[in-house]
Structure 1
């Protein structure tokens, strides 16, 4: 199955992937920093930058705030209380508009993950090309139904979800009239252990549900998202920053500009290199055959009328004469003319 994710980009398994630089909250509430990260993402070749649309009220309940009043584990990743961080890092409505307008001037798609109906309305008003559903909301059926009504493609992350929950989410969207669905294989650990990444789930999701499948990556570096392209991932979502040492939740596990550039450029090469399941020989390879392959060569001086034996023959370049696998049609034949040692034997040399 394939469909237009944006007016200019069609998603289909085993094609060059759409690349989302997930800025998320890496702007740290600073619009100058947000613009710098957008500029860096554009320079890498990413198709889109993505943010997260939530407020202190739409994301977290009072009980959770009260349970996280002080962080002591990692002062770079966490500071103050959870409520203070959320208040600092959430995007206000006017900031959404500011960032959308900036992305438009830079020629990169602006998108975001809504965490409530109100934020969905805001993003719809900003004419985002698609909605991205966070893994945490795969069982938030009310939100899925609301998203489906806008007739936009929906990208559904599957972190923490069972097959039954993925099926339920798809069915909810389909029943609401939306079948432009993409699934993202995702492991909701930051970063996950390599043995838990399970990239083969990409193949499983393709075969089980029949929709395009991408990969939302939380590993360190560029190797694993690039590996996903070989399994047919047609979208890569990767957290992105200009400095992994900045304070905040996700900078440490984010790709830097060098890594994102690798993902953007090499994913195209991998998709192109996957080619066809059908065995073919390219025109370029055929042109190499005369130089690269071997021919049947005389191993000693031979006289006109000699009956050729195996010991009279060897195999060397160039491949312009009789091929080695046709030796059986040469042995036992007599020569029409003298041949010196190390000569290429041709069919018109034989009686």
Structure 2
């Protein structure tokens, strides 16, 4: 299931390629730029290719009706505080924050990217020269935003949570209508965290058959198992929420990967990619060297004199594999011994007449 190759920053991705790992900081910075920088440092140390934020303002994402309905939260697991409006105000990144974080990422050698939630925020990210745009699952039906972003002629990574195949088709068609065919599609389940029976990792293979674009996985599960499994299926982009402390207050810390988990995802996903290898059957040089030590050879079960006609009961098979292979058994039976040989000695072709 080959796909187009899409360039993301300094990397090229296609199905089954080396996985590109995006540490989704999102709003886990909690409005604290120094905390955001600490998360960037940690993600770089873990081996992430990119760190991603979310670009929205108190007026670009949530309506008055939604603010009015959410005056307080009782979900202590996520350590919410106050009203939705208070949290949005605190967690929104300013234009200046964006510039500061982009410069900081540049200094650390990691790609800075973000999810825009309006055309204005997409324009800000274009000004910052992000290497690609990420579209959230919630906006897969926001055709106006999709076309605005796609028209900027940079790669577009789009998550597919909550969407039907028809909605995915419409989104891809909208992006392509601008002339942009630099698309990466992420299988995603928009539950935090999802039940295992709802994850449907097999959808990665299905999407590979449906589209000739690279397929990845945006993961909201707890731990590192599912992202690693997705790499074995060929996912070439892994997006995972990231925090340096799962106990911090905020929306997503509890379901995010911590440094230990992100390091496993970065290192082991690349090991899995390397280990997947080729569909062609290859015996490595290291294995070839093992043949002589591990395989078996024909060994006599008793002393055999010169002139003896060999029968099946005269030999068995033992290590090492430097003599006659067991698969040649029928070519030995009935042959005449040219020399005397003792029990447990390897039989060689020059011993036979």
- Distance in 2 (CA, whole Å) between partners of 1:77 and 1:196 is 26
- Distance in 2 (CA, whole Å) between partners of 1:180 and 1:6 is 10
After the TM superposition, which segments of 4 or more aligned residues of structure 1 sit over 4 Å from their partners?
none
Residue 195 (structure 1) shift? 1.2
Partner of 1:73: 75
1:293 aligned residue (295, 299, 308): 295
Residue 140 (structure 1) shift? 0.5
Change over 3 Å in CA distance of 1:139–1:109 after alignment to 2: same
Partner of 2:154: 152
- Distance in 2 (CA, whole Å) between partners of 1:167 and 1:209 is 9
Partner of 1:167: 169
Residue 151 (structure 1) shift? 0.4
Change over 3 Å in CA distance of 1:2–1:195 after alignment to 2: same
- Distance in 1 (CA, whole Å) between partners of 2:257 and 2:9 is 27
- Distance in 2 (CA, whole Å) between partners of 1:139 and 1:219 is 24
1:111 aligned residue (106, 110, 113): 113
Partner of 1:249: 251
Residue 277 (structure 1) shift? 1.0
- Distance in 2 (CA, whole Å) between partners of 1:315 and 1:343 is 11
**Are the equivalent residues in 2 in contact too, given 1:229–1:270 (CA < 8 A)?**
yes
Secondary structure of 1:237's counterpart equals strand
Partner of 1:50: 52
Residue 3 (structure 1) shift? 3.2
- Distance in 2 (CA, whole Å) between partners of 1:281 and 1:152 is 42
**Are the equivalent residues in 2 in contact too, given 1:2–1:10 (CA < 8 A)?**
no
Partner of 1:204: 206
1:191 aligned residue (190, 193, 216): 193
- Distance in 2 (CA, whole Å) between partners of 1:7 and 1:46 is 13
Taking only aligned residues, the RMSD between alpha carbons, in angstroms, comes to 0.9
TM-score (norm 1): 0.98
- Distance in 2 (CA, whole Å) between partners of 1:184 and 1:77 is 29
Residue 7 (structure 1) shift? 4.3
Residue 4 (structure 1) shift? 4.0
Which residues in structure 2 correspond to 1:277-316 (within 5 Å)? 277-316=279-318
- Distance in 2 (CA, whole Å) between partners of 1:163 and 1:298 is 67
Residue 73 (structure 1) shift? 2.3
**Are the equivalent residues in 2 in contact too, given 1:77–1:250 (CA < 8 A)?**
no
Partner of 2:127: 125
1:188-232 per-position Cα deviation (integer Å, ceiling 9, x unaligned) = 000001111111111110111111001000011111101110000
Partner of 1:82: 84
Secondary structure of 2:53's counterpart equals strand
Which segments of 5 or more consecutive residues in structure 1 lack a partner in the other structure?
A: none
Partner of 2:326: 324
2:17 aligned residue (7, 15, 18): 15
- Distance in 1 (CA, whole Å) between partners of 2:266 and 2:187 is 19
- Distance in 1 (CA, whole Å) between partners of 2:59 and 2:87 is 13
Partner of 2:103: 101
Secondary structure of 1:87's counterpart equals helix
Secondary structure of 1:284's counterpart equals helix
- Distance in 1 (CA, whole Å) between partners of 2:78 and 2:351 is 80
- Distance in 1 (CA, whole Å) between partners of 2:5 and 2:96 is 31
Q: Do structure 1's residue 347 and structure 2's residue 352 form an aligned pair? A: no
**Are the equivalent residues in 1 in contact too, given 2:184–2:215 (CA < 8 A)?**
yes
Secondary structure of 1:229's counterpart equals helix
- Distance in 1 (CA, whole Å) between partners of 2:322 and 2:37 is 61
Partner of 2:272: 270
TM-score (norm 2): 0.98
Residue 77 (structure 1) shift? 3.0
Q: Do structure 1's residue 182 and structure 2's residue 184 form an aligned pair? A: yes
The count of corresponding residues between Structure 1 and Structure 2 is: 351
